[in-house]
Amino acid sequence: MKASEIIKKYISFFEKRGHKRIVNSPLIPQNDPTTLFTSSGMQPLVQYFLGESHPLGKRLVNVQNCFRAADIDEAGDNRHTTFFRMLGNWSLGDYFKREQLPWFFEFLTDVLKLDPKRLYVSIFSGYNSIPRDNESARIWKKLFEDLGIDPKDKIFYYGVDKNWWSRAGLPQDMPKGEPGGPDSEVFYDLGTAHNKKFGNKCHPNCQCGRFLEIGNSVFMEYQKTEDGFKPLPNKNVDFGGGLERLLAAVENQNDIFQTSLYSPIVSAIEKTTGSSYKENSRAIRIIVDHFVAAVFIVKSGVSPSNKEQGYVLRRLVRRAFDNINSIREIENMVVSTKTVVESIISQYKTTDPDLVQNFERIVSTILEEINKYRFTINKARSFIQKKYPQIGDELKGVKKISIDDAFILYSTHGLSPTQIKSLGYVFSVREFAKKMEEHQRVSRKGAQGKFAGGLVDHSDQTIIGHTATHLMHQALRDVLGNKVFQTGSNITSERIRFDFSYDKKLTNEEISKVEKIVNEKIEKNLPVHFEIMPLKKAKEIGAIGLFNEKYEGKVKVYFIGGPSTHSVRSGQPHTQAYSVEFCGGPHVDFTGKLKRFKIIRQENIGHSQRRIYAKVGAFL
């Protein structure tokens, strides 16, 4: 059974149980300043856990491309990757534990035909006022017993460090307003021997690699408050299962890189480096993972740079290149890059067909970054050679460089300590770590104000900013014409950033006109409301906006300055609202809350697109 078949079976299993399929959201989140990448299926759904209604109803299912930058250093073992696809099903205040756990168990044992004897589960053991999850324990007990399996050795209890899920992690790390809850995970026993290095006794969460976590049902029913937790308006289910790991279990592979998904990519790397996976498994796993992630990040429109997503992409490409070099130095990377990218695209094009038309761009972006990296390395070398003219003389051990110079190679030339060492330079790792800590303390201070809205992107300020983008979008079209349409946006509690198609610099006069229109709409204190309607109708009434969610014909549309849509006597669909946009929300109820609007900067972002930064309300 191939990865794409697992996806098909999963979606159809849940569709048969009343779920509607939602789209695979962009890997670079829209309107969420708090996170650089979509890292789980639930991320684009946060507002619905907090109580907004979803146009498709209360049961949703999808497969989501995810990237977790925090796992970059984990890559290299038998089961961790930074890029992965997550199967997800959600109940927004509909079914709960009694349906979710048996359904997932049925999917694993009946549909994927996994041996139930090799399945293990974990359960939340309780935390402060939140009790131990006895209901899940009873459900699992019965499921195992019904198959004649003694549940005694199958159910394991863990605390908040293992069986609590929120975007921020542990309960104490969650900002006010963030949703979270206890979870129950399912593990597959790969049957490998336990390694005592990881503890005397093996158990599902043991790090020895024997147990593979293949699914997580989060019972999203709490919201963080000032001094604890309160129940969310609804009891929700947020299930996520890593496709690559499910495939490993189905194919009975104790290494996900040996599955039918990854092995052709592994072969492409073996071919290009002239080495075997057996001898270089760690390096090849890192190359595979980082290349796959880079392919998807470049496809999303990101270029390597020194900030945000671009920086992560730069790290991935450079680290992949270091690992290639550690196996074999390849002078000309063109053929190798093409071969590896081709193998990746052929593995993922069923679910992501647009990879194919992006092939050339992906290859050239990666090659360009590799060349830049080589240039950086040469510059770093000549910087050191100038400072230490004697450095070529290895026999005298003069490759030792000062900690300050090592740090310059890191902070100015962008080389990591490992990369500096791989150039043959010697310095005190301890001293370097001390210097790094000091550096991070200073930059953390600088970054503190950056995302003042906290992790939950539903602070009053960001909601205000969100409504402002709708007004600005329409005002830009009023001033510049209807060829203006949104291509992206990003809202923090301090400013809004809005990207749109337009190939000229806006004049000061045009900027003032846009500001004036938006401020007029704010002063009029227009009402804001939404309606869920058939897509056809939304299009007829001229709804605009980034429309990449196909809700099987139904969409959510926000109106500013109603009244709501109504047919006029001519029979033509009609709305008197000023702004009509496809949008998930949330928004303010009246535009007066925006107080005032001001454009602070514009930029050309290429491909006939411009970017505007603006401020709203209280921040002016």
What residue ranges bind ligand SER (CB under 6 A)? 40-42, 88, 165, 216, 218, 238-240
Give the residue at shortest CB distance from ligand SER.
240
Minimum distance, C-beta of residue 248 to ligand SER, in the bound complex (Å)? 17
CB closer to ligand SER out of 23 and 568: 23
CB closer to ligand SER out of 165 and 558: 165
The 8-class DSSP code of residue 484 comes to -
Minimum distance, C-beta of residue 164 to ligand SER, in the bound complex (Å)? 11
CA–CA gap between residue 418 and residue 120 (Å, rounded):
38
**Torsion 97-102-103-109 (CA) sign:** positive
> Are the CB atoms for 452 and 493 separated by under 8 Å?
yes
Minimum distance, C-beta of residue 69 to ligand SER, in the bound complex (Å)? 15
CB closer to ligand SER out of 60 and 415: 60
Minimum distance, C-beta of residue 88 to ligand SER, in the bound complex (Å)? 6
CB contact set of 618 (below 8 Å; sequence gap of 6+): 461, 595
> Are the CB atoms for 262 and 340 separated by under 8 Å?
no
> Tokens 């158990």 belong to which residue?
203
> Where does residue 365 rank: exposed (0-12), middle (13-18), buried (19+ CB within 10 A)?
buried
End-to-end CA separation in angstroms for the chain: 57
CB closer to ligand SER out of 33 and 88: 88
Instruction: Tell me the DSSP string of 34-90.
Output: T-SS--STTGGGHHHHTTPPPTT-SEEEEEEEEE-GGGTTTTTSSS--SEEEEEEEE
| Token pair belonging to 141 | 């007990």
Minimum distance, C-beta of residue 5 to ligand SER, in the bound complex (Å)? 21
Element holding 614 (H helix, E strand): strand 609-616
CB closer to ligand SER out of 61 and 560: 61
Minimum distance, C-beta of residue 74 to ligand SER, in the bound complex (Å)? 15
Minimum distance, C-beta of residue 62 to ligand SER, in the bound complex (Å)? 11
CA–CA gap between residue 310 and residue 279 (Å, rounded):
32
Minimum distance, C-beta of residue 240 to ligand SER, in the bound complex (Å)? 2
CB closer to ligand SER out of 68 and 138: 68
The 8-class DSSP code of residue 552 comes to T
| Token pair belonging to 541 | 């009434």
Minimum distance, C-beta of residue 428 to ligand SER, in the bound complex (Å)? 39
Minimum distance, C-beta of residue 508 to ligand SER, in the bound complex (Å)? 47
CB closer to ligand SER out of 40 and 343: 40
- Find how far residue 484's CA is from the centre of its chain: 28
Half-sphere exposure (CA, 13 Å, Cβ side) for 536? 0
CB closer to ligand SER out of 167 and 477: 167
The 8-class DSSP code of residue 582 comes to E
**Residue/partner pairs of 509-515 with CB below 8 Å, 24 or more apart:** 510/479, 510/480, 511/599, 511/602, 513/475, 513/478, 513/479, 514/472, 514/475, 514/476, 514/478, 514/479, 514/599, 515/597, 515/598, 515/599
CA–CA gap between residue 458 and residue 487 (Å, rounded):
22
CB closer to ligand SER out of 217 and 272: 217
CB closer to ligand SER out of 171 and 304: 171
Minimum distance, C-beta of residue 180 to ligand SER, in the bound complex (Å)? 10
Minimum distance, C-beta of residue 47 to ligand SER, in the bound complex (Å)? 15
CA–CA gap between residue 361 and residue 210 (Å, rounded):
40
CB closer to ligand SER out of 219 and 262: 219
Minimum distance, C-beta of residue 45 to ligand SER, in the bound complex (Å)? 10
CB contact set of 329 (below 8 Å; sequence gap of 6+): none
CB closer to ligand SER out of 88 and 304: 88
> Where does residue 378 rank: exposed (0-12), middle (13-18), buried (19+ CB within 10 A)?
exposed
The 8-class DSSP code of residue 476 comes to H
Minimum distance, C-beta of residue 247 to ligand SER, in the bound complex (Å)? 17
CB closer to ligand SER out of 44 and 88: 88
CB closer to ligand SER out of 167 and 290: 167
CA–CA gap between residue 224 and residue 244 (Å, rounded):
32
CA distances to 141, 145, 223, 295 from 148, in Å? 11, 5, 39, 46
CA–CA gap between residue 281 and residue 77 (Å, rounded):
9
